[in-house]
Amino acid sequence: MLSTEANDRLTRIGSGTPMGELFRRYWLPIRPIAQLLEEPVIPVRILGENLVLFRTLEGASGLVGERCPHRMTQLKYGYPDGPGLRCCYHGWMFSPSGQCLDTPLEPPDSSLKGRIKIQSYPVREMGGLVWAYMGPEPIPLLPRWDLFVVSNAIRQIGVMKLPCNWLQAQENTGDPAHSAILHGSYYRYILSKQGELPTEALEARMKLAQGIESLWVEPTSYGARKGIKYSRALGAQNDYLSEHSTAVFPFFTQTGGPGQVRQEIQIRVPVDDTNTYHINYGCFLALNGVTAPEQPVIPWYEVPLYHEDGTPVLDCVLCQDAHAWLAQGPVTDRTREHLGRTDAPIVFLRKQFEEQLKVLEAGRDPMNVFRDPNSMPDVLHGGKWAVTTEPKAIDSESAAATSAYNRGYNLYEDANRYGPAMPQIIEMMKAIEAFRPGS
């Protein structure tokens, strides 16, 4: 349970709020590059600000304020021209830096354009995403997290627009126990209503509720790792520790590791206090000497929350998560919650946020803000293992997951099923499976 003040401190992201200032120290992924290539002018709302993302005819990207300073026309109706974006009304043109480049209806010798500049934020491109930095100078380095830069892989980018606060999605990272119910017994209930049989993966997840002794969590260099401690005396098959996805501060969740084809980062970007731009970044590694097909542009897709008839999509694991987050309301009232033993990692993550807020308020850089290129690794491994491109034999767990994809089980349950790259991914997985020991 949190006080109202503590809840507001972690959830409000407007300019000048504690968490809003924290997020403004990070590079934020705001749209897939593929979408910007399709739509060269896109209105975006990030951290409570209405902005316009655009791509010039010369191939440069810019993120600027939403209105032309001439007569306040919205620049989302503008159009690319040469090195900038022109307002649809009188043609004033702005560069990616916000500088006015042209005022075509003014006298040829007018100096007006030199005195006009609008709000702008620096943008970079990495891993098929456009990243923006909305904080104070000096601008930090853009971290090269492994899944965005690893070679020999197939990628696709799924996005969802969630009408709820970002923290509801991120706290899912600290909740490994929910899989047994939400993605297990509840999923079985949904399938039974549809007249379908449970899948192998679903049956395995339901067993995760058996023999839980406690939850464990510990800090890492970039966030936190956590999982479940099982006890044979309490009903588990053996005494063992499971490990869930890894939290990468402040807004990533990463799954996967060496020997596994399927890797994933989920990113929760605050739009404002009650909306979140959720990115499901799928990266599928070509292992064991297999070569992934070239992707000139990493494709993107929307993960649907609802069917055409308005009913919620509940036979997809990520959509089950999303609807659980939405069901908590626009901003969860944490003054009314009653936490149990399975919430220990959530308590840890909240304390970690508070610790890093205090670091920022003391005038220092919070976790995962990098400024010195000599001290930042060329590739950062935020997940529980360092991703490798070296060919290796697939372990039994990974081989089983690959086979499940090939038989359609994981494809059916996973949000990746909506992605345009799935035919290529399955073909690549079949090629990898052919090299499995004993095949």
Residues in a beta bridge with 130: 31, 125
Assess if residue 27 is contained within a domain. no
Domain end residue (candidates: 90, 109, 133): 133
**Could you report the per-residue pLDDT of 13-71, keeping only the tens digit for each?**
999 999 999 999 999 999 999 999 999 999 999 999 999 999 999 999 999 999 999 99
Q: How far is CA 62 from the centre of its chain?
A: 21
**Could you report the per-residue pLDDT of 303-326, keeping only the tens digit for each?**
999 999 999 999 999 999 999 999
What is the CATH number for 123?
A: 2.102.10.10
Domain end residue (candidates: 107, 133, 159): 133
Report whether pLDDT(429) > 90.
Answer: no
**Could you report the per-residue pLDDT of 228-287, keeping only the tens digit for each?**
999 999 998 889 888 889 999 999 999 887 778 889 999 999 999 999 999 999 999 998
The verdict on 240 and 313 lying in the same domain is: yes
At 229, is the secondary structure helix, strand, or coil? strand
Give the angle 354-358-360 at the CA atoms, nearest 5°.
Answer: 115
Query: CA 51, CA 75: separation in Å to the nearest integer?
Result: 9
**Total domains present in the chain:** 2
pLDDT at residue 438 in the model: 53
Burial of 327 (0-12, 13-18, 19+ CB in 10 A): exposed
Torsion of CA 55, 129, 22, 319, to 10 degrees: 120
CA atoms within 13 A on the CB side of 339: 18
Range of 80's domain?
34-133
Other C-beta atoms lying within 10 Å of the C-beta of residue 83: 17
Burial of 247 (0-12, 13-18, 19+ CB in 10 A): buried
State if pTM tops 0.75. Answer: yes
Q: What is the mean pLDDT of the chain?
A: 91
Q: Read off the pLDDT of each residue in 331-356 and give the average, rounded to a whole number.
A: 96
The verdict on 351 and 222 lying in the same domain is: yes
